Structure 1
Amino acid sequence: MGLTIYLGSKLGEWLDIKFNNDDQLYYKIVTLVSVFIAIFMVIRQVINLTNKE
């Protein structure tokens, strides 16, 4: 979960630098999307674990 969020924030930083965005818009959006992806992955793993039992 942490790795997904970390990589998302690094991608957002890179996009902000590449497209010369001073507001850190890409950083905020990509980090938020990566948080949602990480939460979704954890929830899906918990559901799979509970269904196997």
Structure 2
Amino acid sequence: MAANNNEDQKPKKQLNPYIGFTTVAFQMGLTIYLGSELGNWLDLKYDKAFWKPTLTLFSVFIAMYLVINQVVKISNKK
């Protein structure tokens, strides 16, 4: 008889939720780098020294927002 026996099935191992934080540094670095490069490109295009510091600071805030969201999601799963 081919019954579905729960004793025969091994429980699936779940990954540690904190493994998601291993990519946080790369995500933050890439976000800030792309914001800086976009600001640099806009500075060169419009011949102003306004965009690079503004977009770099804005990208830092975006990166921090993304990290805080990940922490909240992981904290709520516990």
Q: TM-score range by the shorter chain?
A: over 0.9
Superposition RMSD in Å: 0.5
Using the size of structure 2 for normalisation, the TM-score is 0.64
Name structure 2 gaps, 5 residues minimum.
1-27
What is the aligned-residue identity percentage?
55
CA shift, 1:19, in A, is 0.4
1:28 aligned to 2:53? yes
Alignment of 1:6-17 (within 5 A): 6-17=33-44
Alignment-derived partner of residue 48 in structure 1: 73
1:38 aligns with 2:47: no
| Distance apart, 1:25 and its partner CA | 0.9
Query: Which one has more relative contact order, counting CA pairs under 8 Å at least 6 apart?
Result: 1
| Greater per-residue helix proportion | 1
Runs of 4+ in 1 over 3 A off after TM superposition: none
